[in-house]
Amino acid sequence: MDFFMEFPSLSRAELASLRRSIDGAFRDFTRSWAETLESFFNPLLRFLVWFENLLLATPWPVILLVLGALCYAGARSWKITAASVLAFATIGYFGMWEDTMSTLAIISVATFLCIAIGIPVGILMARSDRMQAAITPVLDVMQTIPSFVYLIPVVMLLGIGKVPGLIAVCIYAIPPIVRLTNLGIRLVDKEILEAADAFGASPRQKLWGVQVPLALPNIFAGVNQTIMMALAMVVIASMIGVQGLGVPVLRAISNQYLALGVMNGLAIVALAIIFDRVSQTYGKRLQAHRKGHGHD
């Protein structure tokens, strides 16, 4: 006990001074770079707004038709397709169509960004133990740090709006696809790689012709988890100006509207189940296809 009493630590005044200097440095950085960062993210904002407006302007029968076609293309199951279309029709019937389209827009763009960034990073990790050792702690921090903590610098830099919400969703949702891409490539059988070497395959041919195709079931499991985690962030993202199903849930919490909160919460659950079933079924089909190829 005496040891801990005598443990050297900063005084309150020194801690306050340290915090003030960090806050001051970050404020200076924000004033210097905020406009540059806003202009950098401006094309992303324009695309997100365009995609959301497109979904909102498209007549609902067309949306249902396209969603049904996408569900069937992914799952190849009439049951999942019919259930998905029915779920979206029910959401529209209960007056949650516009919020659902806004949520669908941000989840789709966030998932696309996570795939575009996460798969190359996962491949990089799989090809280098040093990169894996460097990136893994970053992924640990991204997965464990409370989302409200990293919302502070994001909002300070970019203000309230769609882009900060999108960045917050991506920070929270990207680790699974990075980890599972890395894992999938590392799990490829060494004998298969030796056979590819024996046929004179270059490292690039070995990666894209052997490792990535064999890792696809794992990669799609990562996509599935990324979508689930992105949907989990919908309510928190609504706190910083992202329109969608999270806004009514937030209003319901503030005003104790039980029915409003439950209905919009169930709409988020319905989206999650649809995305989960379609992506999981596609991943299983892909795995079966690969096994069939291998057996042949």
> What is the tens place of the pLDDT at every residue in 167-203?
888 999 999 999 999 999 998 888 888 888 888 888 8
**Tell me, what's the pLDDT at 189?**
86
pLDDT confidence of residue 8: 64
The pLDDT tens digits for 114-146 are 999 999 999 999 988 999 999 999 999 888 888
For the ranges 45-54, 253-262, 278-287, the lowest mean pLDDT is seen at: 278-287
Indicate whether 256 pLDDT > 70: yes
Tell the residue number behind the tokens 């909160």, with chain if given. 261
Higher pLDDT, 294 or 114: 114
Position 140 scores a pLDDT of 92
| 145-160 confidence digits (pLDDT tens) | 887 787 888 887 787 8
Q: Which domains occur in the chain, in start order?
A: 42-59+96-295 (1.10.3720.10)
15 falls in which pLDDT band (50, 70, 90)? confident
**Cα gap 27→35, rounded to integer Å:** 13
Binning pLDDT at 50, 70 and 90, where does residue 296 land? very low
Distance, CA of 132 to chain centre = 20
pLDDT tens per residue across span 17-40: 888 888 888 888 888 887 888 888
pLDDT of 62 over the 60 cut: yes
| pLDDT attached to residue 292 | 59
Tell whether the model's pLDDT for residue 294 goes beyond 60: no
More confident residue, 194 or 222: 222
- The secondary structure of the chain, three-state, reads CHHHHCCCCCCHHHHHHHHHHHHHHHHHHHHHHHHHHHHHHHHHHHHHHHHHHHHHHCCHHHHHHHHHHHHHHHHCCHHHHHHHHHHHHHHHHCCCHHHHHHHHHHHHHHHHHHHHHHHHHHHHHHHCHHHHHHHHHHHHHHHHCCHHHHHHHHHHHHCCCHHHHHHHHHHHHCHHHHHHHHHHHHCCCHHHHHHHHHCCCCHHHHHHHHHHHHHHHHHHHHHHHHHHHHHHCHHHHHCCCCCCCHHHHHHHHHHCCHHHHHHHHHHHHHHHHHHHHHHHHHHHHHHHHHHHHHHC
**What is the Cα–Cα distance from 278 to 156, expressed in whole angstroms?**
37
The torsion defined by the Cα of 237, 240, 245 and 248, in degrees rounded to 10, comes to 130
Cβ atoms 252, 261 nearer than 8 A:
yes
The Cα 42–Cα 48 span in angstroms is: 10
The closest alpha carbon to 284, from 70, 75, 112, 73, belongs to 75
Q: What is the pLDDT of residue 114?
A: 94
What is the tens place of the pLDDT at every residue in 63-107? 999 999 998 888 888 888 999 999 999 999 988 999 999 999 999
Mean pLDDT, rounded, of the chain? 85
pLDDT tops 80 at residue 288: no
Residues in the chain: 296
